[in-house]
Structure 1
Amino acid sequence: MEITGDEIRRRMIDHESLDPGGLRLVGATITGQLDLSDVVAKRPLVLRDCTAEQPVVLDRAQFTVLDLSGLVAPSLRARGLAVDHHLRLSGARLSADESVDALHMRIGGSVYLDEGFHASGSVTLSGSQIAAVLMCAGARFEAGLFLVDLRVGDGIFLSQGCEVSGGGRHASVRLRGTRVDGQLVLRGGRFSSPGVALDMRHVRVGKELFMPFGSVEGKAQLEGLTYEGLPRDATVDEWLAFLPTRTLRYSAAPWAQLAAAHQAAGHERDVRRIRVAQQRDLRRRGRLSRWGRAWHLVRGVTVGHGYRPGLALVWLAGVLVVSVTVVLSSGAVRCSVVEQVGYALNVATPLVKVDAARCTVDGASLTGQAVLASTWLLQLLAWAFATLFVAGFTGLVRRNA
């Protein structure tokens, strides 16, 4: 069956003469251009498994239901399209460089780009509002999927065989600024790019995030990404490996969100691991001065940036052992062995003093002078480690990290 694009337009303009079921065509070939720009038709339009010779244009059109499942066409342009219920493009095949240009749509139900949907060019739904679901399971996007500033009610499903590649100078999947009140599901998808595969900056997910990192083949941008509960499909260890190596640059926000999620779940041990890993990433990729980087390293080694204050006690114990070793091996301290140990602890321990009054140091010899100099240095180090322990234990180091 053949039908002209002008005939379809004429029928939809005269929609009141149509059956309440609207216009329904299956397997038709549409000759000429199907241009339904600015058509307001309070009837369904169903063009299933139809073939269009030229791009389909739906700018600012209004329908109750729009079903273009199985459509074969160069492209679809639908800027400002309004549909009361569902927009279906399941199994559609679009071949132009800009396959779908659908900015600022208003969809009262769901959008289906699934069941074998294939776009050779870019697909853009940016700025649109979808009341229910954006379903892309089993779809293939060869030149990027752009969902910037999208508003979705129930969920976005880039899952179950959804493949997105390309994207040019942008990420393959560009979700920047999108808000979804329900779930964001990337489980079973594949997102690849030699550069950035996922741009999820400032995305707000009202419920769970399902994001297995095995699906991401490229870098990711996660600054400002927020979600409820614990992220699914990736373990804490996988997050700790992904954030410092697979994100484009250092940002505190993804680390803070991950730590907050585990804090809310009561996983204190994981929170400490996340915070320590964040500080390592900051030292490696953050914008620190040379001295700032050195001090950051000292904090990390001594107290784990305030999250492992017990490390400072280990270092303090090491200082005491060195002090005792120096005194016992020098031969320059004159008193019994027990008193020599007490003397070593006296000179190196900031807070605890042991009676070793009978010990004297041969200050005239080079060895004695070396003992005096080393004990002064060890006492300084002991005070430093004791202070770092107190600062780490009270959270002062964390507040200044």
Structure 2
Amino acid sequence: MDINDLMPAELRVWQAFPRGTSVDLRTADDEDTAQGADWGPERTVRAAVLRALLLNSPLEDGEIPALRLAGARITGALDLQHGTIDHAIRLSDCFFEDVPLLYASRLRQLDLTGSVLPGLAAATVRVDGMVHLTGCRFLGPVRWDGAQIAGALFMDGCEITPPDAVGPALRLGYTAIGDNLWAPGLRTHGEVRLSGASIGGSASLDDARLSHPGSVALDGQTLAVGGDFHMRRIHTQGWIGLRGARISGRLDLSYARLSNPGDAALRASSCTIGELWLRKSPPMEGTLNLRRAQVDALLLEPEAVPDEVLLNGLVYTTLTPHEPAERRLAMLNKDREGYLPHGYEQLTASYLRVGDDHAARVVQLAKLRRHRRTLPWYGRVWGHLQEITVGYGFRPMLACVWLASLLAVGSAAYSLHHPRPLKASEAPDFNPVFFTLDLLLPVISFGQEGAFAPQGWYQTLSYALVIAGWILATTVFAGVTRTVSRQ
């Protein structure tokens, strides 16, 4: 490119590039970059000039060249596809008329802080340093599919508003980020795609606003995060998908507002998470899906649980905060798949780990009661008998109460009317207490039952006591067997 053909602003950039000095064309610190289309020739730089600088740059001995430009209107498409750029690029607070084309290029560092762009095409790009998109406003989709960024990706305060939602607004699918993804305050209208991406450090979407009603707002299937994934105070319209994701640290959804009525609001099935925090949040509008997820520490406040959950196969080591069993059982009752014993076993195990045996027994009783509703009528009858008599083996003192009550009734009845002896010469002295015990205890004999024969309604009472004794003995045996088997 002939230097004599450059406009004044372009000439300043051309002369500053070899020394890496900055060119600032801004007229005020608070100017609105979105009005860049109205900037005149004194602030206009052609993309072809920037391309020529970056690919065929003039160099000066002892100097480190770099493109540092602020407050410019860049006309034409900045086409660096398949190119190798050995110099840092900083185009801050610039207005781009066309989408920069960075497909399959290799860059040293990229900084577009505060700029307004119609989109960005940077699929499979390789960046040896960091990428700064802080405060950028994109009027079209941003594509980073398959990119490799050795450093961090900064998108804090970034806004992406494509004119339609045909495709994803932000594509980071299968992108490899060596450091952090820093995007608090991100605003998007359309899908954010993180499927298959890997983040070596942590990710932050704190205070983000992701809008894609009725569809996927954030797709993070098989996402891998080496540190924490913060989504505190995030607001979403649409669902978050994290199926198969691996988050080594904490997935923090504190103060989050997730909304996708009529469908899942959070799909985190088959994922592996170090810590999952759902706290200080209103119940999400939609279903919480944690099927087959593995979580080391689950911080789940009952108030944050929505009306429908899917928890089959969820495995967690610890459950906090410590809540009464009744509050946790309400969550299991919301499972859309109905009765699933695995959820009760997990909750029981979490209480046993902290030594709360009473809460563990309450959970087991609730499990057996809910299972009873799935049985045929005779199974439900037997279940009711087990609960009334021994509390399914978890309340053995009930059996003593029943035994004492039946013994008192029988003893009182037979003390008022002694049954006649079968053989008066051989019968022992009648004892109403031991006669009643003979009727109640099927495997113990005190010699009273076989020696006396009650008549009339006393005989009916004796039959009733024998039947009650067998039922009591059977339910006690079943309950004890169940308790011993669990231990």
The reply to whether TM is greater than 0.5 is yes
Q: Secondary structure, in 3 states, of the residue corresponding to 2:145?
A: coil
Structure-1 separation of matches of 2:397 and 2:254: 45
Q: Once the 2 structures are TM-superposed, how far is the Cα of residue 157 of structure 1 from its aligned partner?
A: 0.9
Partner of 1:334: 419
Aligned mate of 1:51, from 102, 111, 116: 116
**Cα–Cα, structure 1 residues 215 and 202, in superposed 2: closer, same or farther, change >3 Å?**
farther
**Is the CA contact (8 Å cut-off) linking 2:391 and 2:398 kept in structure 1?**
no
Q: Secondary structure, in 3 states, of the residue corresponding to 1:344?
A: helix
Partner of 2:333: 244
Asked which structure has the greater RCO (Cα within 8 Å, sep 6+), the reply is: 1
1:138 and 2:207 aligned? yes
Aligned mate of 1:227, from 291, 295, 298: 295
Once the two structures are superposed, residues 268-317 of structure 1 have per-residue CA deviations (whole angstroms, 9 ceiling, x without a partner) of 44444444444455556xx7666666666666666555xxx242441453
Q: Once the 2 structures are TM-superposed, how far is the Cα of residue 6 of structure 1 from its aligned partner?
A: 2.7
Aligned mate of 1:103, from 173, 176, 183: 173
Structure-1 separation of matches of 2:94 and 2:235: 29
**Is the CA contact (8 Å cut-off) linking 2:204 and 2:229 kept in structure 1?**
yes
Partner of 1:384: 474
Aligned mate of 1:3, from 63, 71, 74: 74
Q: Secondary structure, in 3 states, of the residue corresponding to 2:173?
A: coil
Q: Secondary structure, in 3 states, of the residue corresponding to 2:296?
A: coil
Aligned mate of 2:235, from 147, 163, 166: 163
Listed as ranges, the matches of 1:1-400 within 5 Å are 1-4=72-75, 6-7=77-78, 9-10=79-80, 13-16=83-86, 18=87, 22-41=88-107, 43-53=108-118, 55-63=119-127, 64-73=129-138, 74-96=140-162, 97=165, 98-114=168-184, 116-143=185-212, 144-159=217-232, 161-166=233-238, 172-194=239-261, 195-206=263-274, 208-212=275-279, 214-217=281-284, 218-229=286-297, 230-232=318-320, 235=323, 237=325, 238-245=327-334, 250-280=339-369, 282=371, 309-315=393-399, 317-322=401-406, 324-325=408-409, 328-329=412-413, 333-334=418-419, 339-350=431-442, 353-354=445-446, 356=448, 360-363=452-455, 365=456, 367-395=457-485, 398=486
Structure-2 separation of matches of 1:71 and 1:91: 7
**Is the CA contact (8 Å cut-off) linking 2:418 and 2:430 kept in structure 1?**
no
Structure-2 separation of matches of 1:123 and 1:80: 15
Larger radius of gyration: 2
**Is the CA contact (8 Å cut-off) linking 2:93 and 2:116 kept in structure 1?**
yes
When you count helix as a share of all residues, which structure comes out higher? 1
Once the two structures are superposed, residues 344-366 of structure 1 have per-residue CA deviations (whole angstroms, 9 ceiling, x without a partner) of 22211245555646973334x3x
Structure-2 separation of matches of 1:13 and 1:190: 43
The number of equivalent residue pairs is 375
Structure-1 separation of matches of 2:96 and 2:123: 18
**Is the CA contact (8 Å cut-off) linking 1:133 and 1:153 kept in structure 2?**
yes
Q: Once the 2 structures are TM-superposed, how far is the Cα of residue 78 of structure 1 from its aligned partner?
A: 1.9
Q: Once the 2 structures are TM-superposed, how far is the Cα of residue 104 of structure 1 from its aligned partner?
A: 1.0
Structure-1 separation of matches of 2:458 and 2:269: 63
**Is the CA contact (8 Å cut-off) linking 1:12 and 1:23 kept in structure 2?**
no
Partner of 2:314: none
Q: Secondary structure, in 3 states, of the residue corresponding to 1:394?
A: helix
Structure-2 separation of matches of 1:58 and 1:300: 66
Q: Which runs of 5+ in 1 are unaligned?
A: 167-171
Q: Once the 2 structures are TM-superposed, how far is the Cα of residue 373 of structure 1 from its aligned partner?
A: 2.6
Once the two structures are superposed, residues 67-121 of structure 1 have per-residue CA deviations (whole angstroms, 9 ceiling, x without a partner) of 111121132222112111111211111123232222111110111221x211121
Q: Once the 2 structures are TM-superposed, how far is the Cα of residue 212 of structure 1 from its aligned partner?
A: 2.1
Partner of 1:169: none
Structure-2 separation of matches of 1:45 and 1:108: 15
Q: TM-score, normalised on structure 2?
A: 0.68
- Range that drifts further, 335-344 or 72-81: 335-344
Query: Superposition RMSD on alpha carbons, in Å?
Result: 3.3
Identical positions, percent: 20
**Cα–Cα, structure 1 residues 25 and 165, in superposed 2: closer, same or farther, change >3 Å?**
same
